[in-house]
Amino acid sequence: MNWLTNYVRPRFRALVRSGTKPEVPENLWHQCSSCERMIFHRDLEANQRVCPHCNHHMRVGPEYRFQSLLDEGSWSRIELPKVPLDPLKFRDSKRYADRLKEAQGKTRTQDALEAAHGRIDGLPAVVAVMNFEFMAGSMGAAVGEAFVTAARLAVLQEAAFIIVTSSGGARMQEGAVSLMQMARTTLAVEEVKEAGLPYIVLLTDPTTGGVTASFAMLGDIHIAEPGAVIGFAGARVIEQTIRETLPEGFQKAEYLLEHGMVDMVVHRFEMRATMARLLGLLFRRQHPPSEPAGKPAIVRPAEAVLAPAPAVAPARSGDKPAESATDEAEAAAPAPKSGD
């Protein structure tokens, strides 16, 4: 077999190639993984890597997301802390240390999460993007550390925090250490929320496992790309466990939108505009988008309680007409802290 694969097959290929025209470089045409039709690479780029035939949203990496979401020239990458690699000295068919090196060589990045800070339509934002190319976007200590760093920078800069997820879940080669990242990232999200800053999750294909079970489901707003698979366990595993056939489109973004697990399914063409609009609403923007970006008015929860909307203000004031003693007592009491 070795003789056949190592010697005969390459020689045979060389013979076949020498007799034909020079080969077209493979990367000029791209085959859509959904409809299997061929797309010329320039058409694909012009279409934001969405299949022009079937609208399939292909996976894109962090650099692409930074460029497409953040204002041109406004952003720069965040340097992420290094973490001890391979804490368990894990080995399956390959050493984990070797797998890491291989992934780092292939993607030219340290690990599966990258982050940048900049502006979206003039509003400050920290964007963290998971890279599915790096060991299926799995979450280990490095991803957890990167997430916490990006979240804290958002708090420091009073910026919105946006995470673009794409992950197979926790990184099994790091065992319990990877599971601990679920708690760490959840606490980092809490820090952003305590600072009264928006935390937006953009779910892209696929978002599964420990990532779905932690920071990917904690957003103020969940946006998903069309057709993205989002779930905890895979459909096959669920089917085998519950011994029932799952409904059509189960775990797809559109199905989850119908069932209330995501807030919006947004086409990639509309993503930047949607993100800008949401940030404008959440920051209660006071400047029109065309004006030079000033410091946005951040409305913290405490201020929101102190300054109720005009419609609510009369109800909160103490001098509303009271009909009985109980009402008077209620009216005299301070306005409740919870409310609109």
Interface of this chain with Zn ion, residues 309 to 328, rule: CB under 5 A? none
| Helices within 174-267 (DSSP H only) | 175-194, 209-212, 235-242, 253-258
Cβ neighbours around 4 below 10 Å, total: 9
Instruction: Determine contact, residues 202/163, Cβ cutoff 8 Å.
Output: yes
Among residues 8, 54, 88, 312, the one that binds Zn ion under rule CB under 5 A: 54
Among residues 47, 49, 56, 133, the one that binds Zn ion under rule CB under 5 A: 56
Stretch that binds Zn ion, among 56-64, 144-152, 197-205, 220-228 (CB under 5 A): 56-64
Residues in CB range of 303: below 8 A, 6 or more apart: none
Cβ neighbours around 61 below 10 Å, total: 18
Give the helix/strand (H/E) hosting 203: strand 199-207
Stretch that binds Zn ion, among 48-56, 71-79, 172-180, 289-297 (CB under 5 A): 48-56
Counting residues that bind Zn ion (by CB under 5 A) gives 7
Interface of this chain with Zn ion, residues 6 to 45, rule: CB under 5 A? 32, 34-35
**Angle formed by the axes of helices 62-69 and 268-282, to 10°?**
60
Task: Answer yes or no whether residue 51 interacts with Zn ion by CB under 5 A.
Answer: yes
Query: Which CB sits closer to Zn ion, 8 or 35?
Result: 35
How far is the C-alpha of 166 from the C-alpha of 128, rounded, in Å? Answer: 11
Query: Which CB sits closer to Zn ion, 33 or 286?
Result: 33
Query: Which CB sits closer to Zn ion, 56 or 316?
Result: 56
Stretch that binds Zn ion, among 52-60, 98-106, 158-166, 280-288 (CB under 5 A): 52-60
* Cis bond upstream, residue 292 (ω within 30): no
Shortest Å distance, C-beta 305 to Zn ion: 50
Query: Which CB sits closer to Zn ion, 45 or 194?
Result: 45
Stretch that binds Zn ion, among 55-63, 126-134, 204-212, 298-306 (CB under 5 A): 55-63
Stretch that binds Zn ion, among 47-55, 96-104, 122-130, 314-322 (CB under 5 A): 47-55
Q: What is the token pair recorded at 88?
A: 């368990």
Among residues 53, 101, 259, 267, the one that binds Zn ion under rule CB under 5 A: 53
Query: Which CB sits closer to Zn ion, 28 or 307?
Result: 28
Buried b vs exposed e over 197-206: b needs ≥16 C-beta within 10 Å?
bbbbbbbbbb
Query: Which CB sits closer to Zn ion, 11 or 53?
Result: 53
x/- letters, 282..301, toward Zn ion (CB under 5 A): --------------------
How far is the C-alpha of 204 from the C-alpha of 57, rounded, in Å? Answer: 9
Kindly list the strands in the beta sheet with 123-130, ordered across the sheet, starting from the edge strand earlier in the chain: 76-77, 113-120, 123-130, 160-167, 199-207, 221-224, 264-265
Q: Which residues of this chain interact with Zn ion, rule CB under 5 A? A: 32, 34-35, 51, 53-54, 56
